[in-house]
Structure 1
C-alpha cells in the first residue's frame, strides 16, 4: 500500500496494496463485466481527489492512504452519499494544495467502496475506477477541490478479434513471468491474474497494479483505443520482464560467498556484472587509461594529489549517473592541459627582427619592445612575459601583429576575441556543480595550444561588456597581472595554473572604455595610422600578393603600380589602416578575374590610375585642400578622427545688429562651443591688443561656422583656431598663407597641448600646409616623430594666444575691409 503524501517505493507498502486489491476482486471472479456496467450520472461540478504517484484505471480497485484533510472530507462525503468522485494524479508530489495546472488532465470517475482505520492510526480508502474522464475546469478549491469534467469512451475491440485476444494473452503471460521473477509482488497474485477473463479489466488491472513509471501510466490512460493501450503495455512488459530476469540472474551470481561485512564488495560486483552483460567493463578501462596518462604528466604535487582524489571519486560513481560524465570531463581537462610543457623561444635577435620586418611594414615601437624582451630573455634565461596592449584605429594591423610576434618567437599562437563577451564564466569557467559546466576560454585555449607559453592575443579588449552574470574585465585582472597570474584559478579546474610564461597581447581601438585597473596592468603601445606612402608600400608588399592568391591569379597576370595604389588611397579610401584599401584591391582583381574567365584574356594587365573609374567607379572621397587666405576670418585647423587626421576650416562672419549675438553652427559638440565662447571672451577682454573698438561687440553679430555641418565635431583642439578666426574677422586682417594650427585655449589666453599630433601633421602635409602652430608642450611629441613625416613643415611653438596672433595675422587687410579698429588720436582731432 502506497501512502498518499509520500514518494515511496517501499516493498512492504507495495505488498500490502496487492493483498488488499486481490482480496477485493475475488468477489467479481467471472463477473468482471459488472465492473463496467455502472452508470455514471454527473450533474454540475464533481469532487476531485488528487493522488500522488498513483494512477487508477477503470474497473480496478485501489487502496490509498488518505493524509490530507481535504482528501479525507472528499472520501467520507462520497462514501456517505454514495456519490462519485473524479480521481486525478498530481504532476508534482510535493504540492499540498494543487490547482488545475498541477494535475494531469486525464483521470477516472471513481466511487469509494470502503474506508478502513488501520492499526497504525492511518485511514485507508478503497477506490473503484468506473470510467475515464477529462478535467475541464476547477471551480472550487476549498474545503476540497471541485470541478467540471467530461466523460471519455474507450474504443474496445470486438470479442471476435482473434489478434487482439492473442495480444491480451501475451500480456497475461508476461505479467505472470514478471510477478514470479519479482520479490515485490505477492505470488498469490498469479492465481488472480490467470482467472481474469475480461480483456479490458485485465489490461487496466495490470496498468494499475504493476510498479511501472508514473509517466508510462499517464501515457497508457491517455489512450482512447484499448488496442493501442494493450500494444504499449506489451512493449513495457517486455522491457520490464527482461530487466527483472537479468537482475535476478545478476543477483544469483553475485550472492555467492557474500556476508554482511562484504556489502560494499557486493554492490561493486553487481555493477561489474551489469557491465559484463553490456559487453565489457569500460569504466575500469577508462580509469586505467587516465592513471596511465597521469603518470607521464609533469604537474605539481598538489595537482597530482587532487587528481588521485578525483579519480577515486570517479571509481565510486556509477557510469550511468550524470555525475560520472562531469567527473570524467574534469579529469580529461586536467590531463589535456600542457602542465610544464614549453616551446623553446627563438633567441636569435637578427632572425626575429627579419621575421617582424617581413610581416609588417613600419610599427617600429612594437618591434623594438619585442626585441627588447627577447634580449632580456636571452641574458636572464627566465623572466615573466610582458602584458602588452596595442591600441589604435581599425585596420592598422594590431591583430595580425600578434601572429607575427608568435612566428618571430617560434611560439604557439592563440587568439581569443573578447568582443561582446559579458559573462565572467567565459574567463574563469563555471563551477562543476552546474549542469554543462566548462572551463573558461583561457584554459580551453591553452589545451588547444598544447603549450604553457604561447602568444595569447586578447582581441578587442575594449569591447567587453558586463551584466548580471558578472564583469569579465574584472576577471581579466588576475589573468593580466604578472604578480598574480602564476596562480590563476579557474572555477572549473579548481586548482592553480601558471600563466606567467604566457605572452598576453591585448588589442583595442578606444582606451576610454577599458577600466583603469585593467589599463594599469598593461604596457600601452600606440599604433597610429599610416601615411599615404606607408599604405602604398604595405599594399605593394603584402596586400596585392595576398589578393592575387585569394582570387586565383598569378603574380605576372595583373600589375598595380605605385601611382595607381596612391590614387586608390587618396580617392577611394578614408581610413587610418589599410582594411578598406585591401577591399578595393580585391574588387579590382575580382573584376579582372571575371573578365578573364569570360573572354580568356586580361583586358588590362597593368592597372593605371585612369583605369580606376572602370573598376571602382567615381572617386568616393576628395581630400580637403588648403583654400588660400583671400578672406578674413577663415582659418585652417587640424583635427583628429577615428580614421586619421583631417584639416578643418573655421569661418567667422560679421553682420550688423543691435544685440551683438554669437551664433555657432556646424554640428559642434559642447566642448567646441565652449572653446568658441572662451575665444570671444578673451578677445573682448583684450580688445586693445588688437586695437578694436569695444563698441563693435554691441553693434555687430558674430557667426562662427565649421563646414561639413552633417559631420559631428567636438574636442578642445580648435580653441586657438577659433580665436584666430575671430581676431581675423574683427580686424579684417588676412591670415598667413599655408598656415594651420591646433591647440586648446584658456580664459587667460594660455595655449594648452592636444593629442593626435602625428595624424594631424599627416593631414596637414596632404593638404599642402607649410607651417603649423602648436603649444610649446607639444614639442616633445614632434621630437618622437620620424623625420620623414616632418619634411617640408615648419613648426611654431607658442605659450600664449598673443603669440598666435603675431604669427598668424598679417598686416595686410582684405579688399573692402570694414574698419572696426579704434580711431587714432590724430583722426579724433
Structure 2
C-alpha cells in the first residue's frame, strides 16, 4: 500500500462503493475474462447487490483459502473492479459467474450492510514507465520465447492462449494475460496485481515463467523415468509368470524345495545360535521372494558363500618333528631360522594341543625363498595352504569385503582364502605385506590389525558375511622385503624372522641341489646330458649374477639348459639317434658360448701396499662388496674435498674421521697444524654408484692417517666400522655379507668392531677358515693392524680421551647398484 499511495499522491481520486466478492485461490486481472463458482452466503449477497445496481462488483482474494467467512483483515486491499457478464445456475444451489475485469482498485475502507460486504475503493492507474521502446520489445520477445517453451511442457494451456501471447502487445497487458492464464499460485498472482509499473510487472512474469519451465522439465524427466520403471516391472512380472508355467511344464525343482535344502545345510553346520538364526532368517526371506528377482539372487549368493566356509572343518596336523624336518630340508637349503621356528611350534603343539595359531613375518631381499619356504612349511605341518597377495592393495574392502547390499558385493580376501583352503586351521600366506597402500577407500593395514591379533581374531567379522568367524587356529605367515613401510601397530603383532641374502657358497649349494635338477627336468634333460661342476657354478654365480637371492641364477641355469638342449637336438637330427651326442660339458673356459660375455668382474684389490689407499667393506641388497677409499694430502689452504657420489651420512662420517686424525696428530707423529697448509681429498671410486652409511668411518680414518704420515696400508687387510671423534670403533650390520666379499677378494685379515664379535658365529665356515678377524675397540688397534710400519719405528696410535657408552649397532655402509639409494 505504501507503493500505491506514493503513486496516487497528488491525484484527485474518484471513489465508489461496491459489493465485495472474496475469491478463494483466484485473482482477477483487468481486461480479462474469468469464471468461477459461487456457493457461500457472503458471495451470494454480493452478486444480488451487484445485479440490483449496475452489475459492478469488487473482486479481491482472501489470504487464507480455508476461511469460510472472511472478514476485513482476511482480504487483500488491492483487487479488480469487474463487470458481470453472465450468471448460470448449477445443480446444488451453486452459481457459475463470468466476469470481466475493468481496472485495478484499492480499498479505502470496508463496511457491512444487510449481510453483504462493501468496500469504498479508488482506481489505481498503471505506470507505463520511461523504458525505451527497444527494451520493451526485447522483454516482449523474451516472454514470447519462454512462454512458447512453457506451453510445450505444460498440458493445461490452450492453443488460443499461446497464439494470443505470440501476437504480442503492450507489456502491461501481456503480463496480466500470462498471469491470468497460467496455473500460478494466487500469492504470486496477487503480487503481480499489486505491481503498477508495467515493465517491472513484465520482468517478474518472465522470471516466474522461467522458474516454471525448470520445474516442468524436472517433472517431465521424473514422469518419463517412472513410466520406464513401471513398464519394466510389468514386463518382468509377465516374463516371471511365463517362466513359472514353463518350469511347471518341464517338471523342474520347486522353489520351496530349494529353500528347504538351504535350511537343512544350515542346521547341519551346528553353528552358534546367533549365526544359525541369522542364516535361517535369510533363508526365510528368500522363500517370500520371487525366484527370479534381483534381491533373491543376492540372498542366494550370500547363503552359498556362507555355507562354503569351513566353519568346523579342520585338518590333522603332523607333529612328527623328524618328518617335518625332512620335508623342510628336501625343498630348501639354509633358512635355518624359519625351519627351527616351525619345528618349535610343532613341538609346543604336541605338548599343548590348545595352542592357537601364530603370526610370523619373513623379511628379506627378493629371491631368497620366502614364498616357496611357506609352501614347504604347510606340507611339513600337514596344513592346507592358501596364498593372498597384498602387493598394491589399497582398498580396505579387499580385506573385510563389501556390504552385501551393494551390487556385485563379495567377501574379503581373508574369507576367500579360507574357502579356497577348505580348512579352519590352514596356513595362510600374506605375500608382500610391505607393498600395501592406502587411499580414500580406507587403509587395508588397519583392517589387518584385527586379523593378525591372536587375542581378537576369534570373532572376526567380514562385511559381506556379517557373522563372527574364528581365525585363531589359522597360522598366518607374511612376507616383506623391508619393515620400513609396515605400520608399527601391525608390525607389533608379528614375530619377525629376518632372512639375509645368500652367500656365494650357499648359492652354489642351492644351485647344485635344487635349481639345476629342476631346470634339467623342465627342459627334458637328464643328469647324463649336462655336466656342470660346482667350481663352474661358482664362476657362473660370480661372473653372471649379482643378487641377494637366486632368481637371476635360475634364469642363467635355464639358459645353459636351453643351449645344451639345442646342441643335443641338432646332433640328433644331423647324425641320427644312435650316433647323436648325448653329453654337453660346461666349463669356465666355454661359459661364454652359453651365457655370453661375463657381466660382472671380481673386486679389484691392489696387490701392493699403498699410502692413503684402504680396503673397506660395504653391504648391498645383493650381498657384500669391496669399497676402496683413496685419500690424498696436497699443499693448500685447509680445504676438505669429498667425492664419489656420497650420501649425507657418509659425508658427515668423513668429517668426523678428519677430526679424529687431527685430535691424534701428536700420537701419529705429525704436526698438529698440518691441516692448515694442506688440502685433504677423500675419494670413493665408482662415482656413478650412490653410497651412504656410517660404517666406512674406520676406513676413511685409516686412509687419512696413512696419507698424513706417509705410512702405506697393507693391501691384504679390509675393515669396517663406524668411528667417533674420540677414536672409538662402533658396531655395524651386514657382517656376514661383508666378510664373504673380503673372502672373494682374497683378503687375509678383516678388522671388525669389538661389539660385533658375537656376529662372527653367523659367518660362513669357509670364510672363518680362510680369513683372520681382528676385533677393535679403538682406532689404535685398527692402525696397528693396517699400517705397514718400519720395523725400527714405533708409532703411537691415538687413544680415546674419554670412555663413551656402548652404542647399538648402526646401519652398515652400503653401495647400491642399478640406481638404488642406500
TM-score by structure 2 length?
A: 0.68
Rounded Cα–Cα distance in structure 2 between residues aligned with 1:390 and 1:244:
57
8 Å CA contact retained: 1:752, 1:777: yes
Q: CA deviation at 1:298?
A: 4.0
Partner of 1:652: 631
8 Å CA contact retained: 1:396, 1:529: yes
Of residues 331, 338, 345, the one that matches 1:359 is 331
Structure 2 residue matching 1:632: 3-state secondary structure: coil
Q: CA deviation at 1:803?
A: 2.6
Q: From the superposition, tell whether residues 501 and 789 of structure 1 become closer, same or farther in structure 2 (CA, over 3 Å).
A: farther
Rounded Cα–Cα distance in structure 2 between residues aligned with 1:776 and 1:280:
83
Rounded Cα–Cα distance in structure 2 between residues aligned with 1:392 and 1:421:
20
Rounded Cα–Cα distance in structure 2 between residues aligned with 1:453 and 1:435:
31
Q: CA deviation at 1:527?
A: 1.3
Rounded Cα–Cα distance in structure 2 between residues aligned with 1:282 and 1:244:
18
Residue pairs, 1:234-633, within 5 angstroms: 283-600=255-572, 601-602=580-581, 605-633=584-612
Rounded Cα–Cα distance in structure 2 between residues aligned with 1:626 and 1:715:
22
Deviates more, 1:358-367 or 1:554-563: 554-563
8 Å CA contact retained: 1:633, 1:726: yes
Q: CA deviation at 1:295?
A: 2.6
Matched, 1:634 2:607: no
Matched, 1:808 2:786: yes
Q: CA deviation at 1:321?
A: 3.8
Rounded Cα–Cα distance in structure 2 between residues aligned with 1:214 and 1:358:
71
Partner of 1:32: none
Partner of 1:78: 162
Of residues 719, 724, 746, the one that matches 2:697 is 719
Structure 1 residue matching 2:555: 3-state secondary structure: helix
Q: CA deviation at 1:117?
A: 8.0
Structure 1 residue matching 2:775: 3-state secondary structure: strand
Partner of 1:752: 730
8 Å CA contact retained: 2:391, 2:432: yes
Of residues 699, 716, 721, the one that matches 1:738 is 716
Of residues 743, 754, 775, the one that matches 1:776 is 754
Q: Deviations over 1:480-513 (max 9, x none)?
A: 1111122222121122211111111111111122
Rounded Cα–Cα distance in structure 1 between residues aligned with 2:252 and 2:183:
53
Q: Deviations over 1:634-685 (max 9, x none)?
A: 111111101011111011012211x211111111000000000011112122
Rounded Cα–Cα distance in structure 1 between residues aligned with 2:643 and 2:489:
39
Structure 1 residue matching 2:411: 3-state secondary structure: coil
Rounded Cα–Cα distance in structure 2 between residues aligned with 1:376 and 1:664:
56
Q: CA deviation at 1:533?
A: 2.0
Q: From the superposition, tell whether residues 141 and 536 of structure 1 become closer, same or farther in structure 2 (CA, over 3 Å).
A: farther
Rounded Cα–Cα distance in structure 2 between residues aligned with 1:768 and 1:748:
32
Superposed CA RMSD:
3.9
Q: CA deviation at 1:602?
A: 4.9
Partner of 1:169: none
Q: Which has the larger radius of gyration?
A: 2
Rounded Cα–Cα distance in structure 1 between residues aligned with 2:615 and 2:584:
42
8 Å CA contact retained: 2:610, 2:714: no
Partner of 1:144: 209
Structure 2 residue matching 1:797: 3-state secondary structure: strand
Q: From the superposition, tell whether residues 278 and 143 of structure 1 become closer, same or farther in structure 2 (CA, over 3 Å).
A: farther
Rounded Cα–Cα distance in structure 1 between residues aligned with 2:596 and 2:743:
27
Q: CA deviation at 1:740?
A: 1.1
8 Å CA contact retained: 1:272, 1:281: no
Rounded Cα–Cα distance in structure 1 between residues aligned with 2:315 and 2:683:
60
Q: CA deviation at 1:558?
A: 2.2
Structure 1 residue matching 2:590: 3-state secondary structure: helix
8 Å CA contact retained: 2:161, 2:181: no
8 Å CA contact retained: 1:454, 1:503: yes
Structure 2 residue matching 1:513: 3-state secondary structure: coil
Q: Deviations over 1:283-338 (max 9, x none)?
A: 42432222222232143232212211222233334444433222222211111100
Rounded Cα–Cα distance in structure 2 between residues aligned with 1:394 and 1:216:
59
8 Å CA contact retained: 2:609, 2:714: no
Rounded Cα–Cα distance in structure 2 between residues aligned with 1:744 and 1:571:
31
Q: CA deviation at 1:216?
A: 12
Q: From the superposition, tell whether residues 48 and 572 of structure 1 become closer, same or farther in structure 2 (CA, over 3 Å).
A: farther
8 Å CA contact retained: 1:573, 1:581: yes
Q: From the superposition, tell whether residues 215 and 730 of structure 1 become closer, same or farther in structure 2 (CA, over 3 Å).
A: same
TM-score by structure 1 length?
A: 0.68
Q: Which runs of 5+ in 1 are unaligned?
A: 1-40, 57-61, 65-71, 85-111, 124-139, 149-211, 219-235, 251-269, 814-818, 822-829
Partner of 2:38: none
8 Å CA contact retained: 1:635, 1:650: yes
Rounded Cα–Cα distance in structure 1 between residues aligned with 2:144 and 2:747:
96
Q: Deviations over 1:767-826 (max 9, x none)?
A: 11122212221112123445444222222222222332222223149xxxxx9x9xxxxx
Q: Deviations over 1:695-744 (max 9, x none)?
A: 32011111111111111111111111111111111111122341111111
8 Å CA contact retained: 2:605, 2:715: no
Rounded Cα–Cα distance in structure 2 between residues aligned with 1:276 and 1:367:
62
Q: From the superposition, tell whether residues 405 and 50 of structure 1 become closer, same or farther in structure 2 (CA, over 3 Å).
A: farther
Q: CA deviation at 1:428?
A: 1.3
Structure 2 residue matching 1:650: 3-state secondary structure: strand
Q: From the superposition, tell whether residues 761 and 243 of structure 1 become closer, same or farther in structure 2 (CA, over 3 Å).
A: closer
Rounded Cα–Cα distance in structure 2 between residues aligned with 1:503 and 1:757:
32
8 Å CA contact retained: 1:574, 1:643: yes
Structure 2 residue matching 1:511: 3-state secondary structure: coil
Q: From the superposition, tell whether residues 629 and 486 of structure 1 become closer, same or farther in structure 2 (CA, over 3 Å).
A: farther
Structure 2 residue matching 1:678: 3-state secondary structure: helix
Of residues 643, 648, 655, the one that matches 2:622 is 643
Q: Which runs of 5+ in 2 are unaligned?
A: 1-140, 169-177, 190-204, 214-221, 573-579, 798-822
Equivalent pairs, count: 615
Partner of 1:177: none
Structure 2 residue matching 1:311: 3-state secondary structure: helix
Residue pairs, 1:79-94, within 5 angstroms: 80-81=164-165
Matched, 1:792 2:770: yes
Rounded Cα–Cα distance in structure 1 between residues aligned with 2:234 and 2:271:
50
Q: CA deviation at 1:342?
A: 0.8
Deviates more, 1:529-538 or 1:701-710: 529-538
8 Å CA contact retained: 1:388, 1:525: yes
Rounded Cα–Cα distance in structure 1 between residues aligned with 2:167 and 2:424:
78
Deviates more, 1:312-321 or 1:420-429: 312-321
Matched, 1:675 2:740: no
Q: CA deviation at 1:689?
A: 1.8
Rounded Cα–Cα distance in structure 1 between residues aligned with 2:730 and 2:159:
92
Q: CA deviation at 1:79?
A: 6.2
Q: CA deviation at 1:564?
A: 1.9
Structure 1 residue matching 2:344: 3-state secondary structure: helix
